[in-house]
Amino acid sequence: MRVTVVVLAAVLALAACTGRYKPSGTTGAVGQVGGAAETPAASGPPTDCEDQTGADATLRVSDFSFHPTCLRVSAGADLEIVNEDASAHSFTVSGGAIDETLEAGSSDRIRSLGDLPPGTYPFNCRFHPPMTGTLIVE
């Protein structure tokens, strides 16, 4: 009789142990789900964003568009904008943090990028609304 009780207790303990083990396995699965979730999060920012981190950055304006349309820069870096068009443009960061008019055929070096904290900043040209781009400060 006592042996039966001990065996029963052992089976229950094993079941409890197994029960605890399963959530542990579930935690592992959650970790995998979290890992999978990182992939969509990583694809949140533009995937074809040109990496110009680690040095001063350059943005060209030609044919009424920015090149590249997305650039990734280091916080505090200088950004040189070269307007190759025969028309004036502007480099205007949404929110007004930067609003620089670019005369035709000119090159402007903007040092105020150092004031931009890391983040993603849409920018455009005030004169030509279809001219847009994205600046990612890291």
Q: Applying CB under 5 A, which residues contact Cu ion?
A: 89, 125, 127-128, 131
For residues 44 and 130, which CB has a smaller minimum distance to Cu ion in the complex? 130
Which long-range contacts link 110-114 to residues 24+ away (Cβ below 8 Å)?
110/78, 110/79, 110/80, 110/81, 111/78, 113/57, 113/73, 113/75, 113/76, 113/77, 113/78, 113/79, 113/137, 114/75, 114/76, 114/77
For residues 48 and 63, which CB has a smaller minimum distance to Cu ion in the complex? 63
Q: How many residues does the chain have?
A: 138
For residues 57 and 66, which CB has a smaller minimum distance to Cu ion in the complex? 66
Cα angle for residues 61, 67, 41 (degrees, 5° grid): 140
CB of 89 to Cu ion, least distance (A): 3
For residues 77 and 125, which CB has a smaller minimum distance to Cu ion in the complex? 125
CB of 82 to Cu ion, least distance (A): 13
CB of 129 to Cu ion, least distance (A): 9
CB of 127 to Cu ion, least distance (A): 4
Residues 6 or more apart from 32 whose CB is under 8 A from it? none
Q: Which amino acid is at 83?
A: N
